[in-house]
Amino acid sequence: MQDAFLRTLRELHRFDDRRSFRPWFYAILRNLGRNAAARRNRQVDDGAADSLVARASGDAAADAELRGIIERELAGMTEQQAASFRLCEIEGFSALEVADMLGISPATVRTHAHRARLKLRASLTDRGYRSPE
């Protein structure tokens, strides 16, 4: 966190005050996290799968299996699809906020998130998981 605040202070002159601060700061956090993960030579989890399955079944083994499936599927997607899905569906950011973070249009964010959802749904259905509806 300290690195993020230091980076924010150093780069504050680049912030466009006509935009929301939150997505800009989140992008700094995400980039620092990616850099740290690359240095450790491992994939960033961000707890995304944890939060997605936290309310799943209550069965720790099943939740761990589901978390693993989701992470493997996200790892196999394009970076834009995985990031759009995580930020929109798991973190709860709007398509406009995610677009600012990723430097793409909101329509592109929605497209990437939708394609990621379809891939996850197909993969989970193939493995016998069913929608809670």
pLDDT tens digits along 77-99? 998 999 899 888 878 888 988 88
- Nearest one of 75, 77, 108, 93 to 29, comparing CA atoms: 93
CA dist 37 and 82 (Å) reads 16
Tokens standing for residue 60: 């720790």
Match 């799943």 to its residue by tokens: 56
DSSP, residue by residue, 72-102? HHHHTS-HHHHHHHIIIIIS---HHHHHHHH
DSSP, residue by residue, 110-121? HHHHHHHHHHHH
- For the chain, which residues make up each domain, given as ranges? 2-126
Q: Are 108 and 88 in contact (CB under 8 A)?
A: no
Residue percentage of the chain with pLDDT more than 70: 74
So what's the pLDDT on residue 106?
Answer: 93
pLDDT tens digits along 43-82? 434 444 444 444 444 566 667 777 788 888 888 999 899 9
The CATH number assigned to the domain with range 2-126 reads 1.10.10.10
- Nearest one of 126, 124, 20, 3 to 62, comparing CA atoms: 124
- The packing angle between helices 106-126 and 60-75, to 10°, is 130
Q: Are 37 and 48 in contact (CB under 8 A)?
A: no
Q: Are 51 and 34 in contact (CB under 8 A)?
A: no
| 8-state DSSP, 13 | G
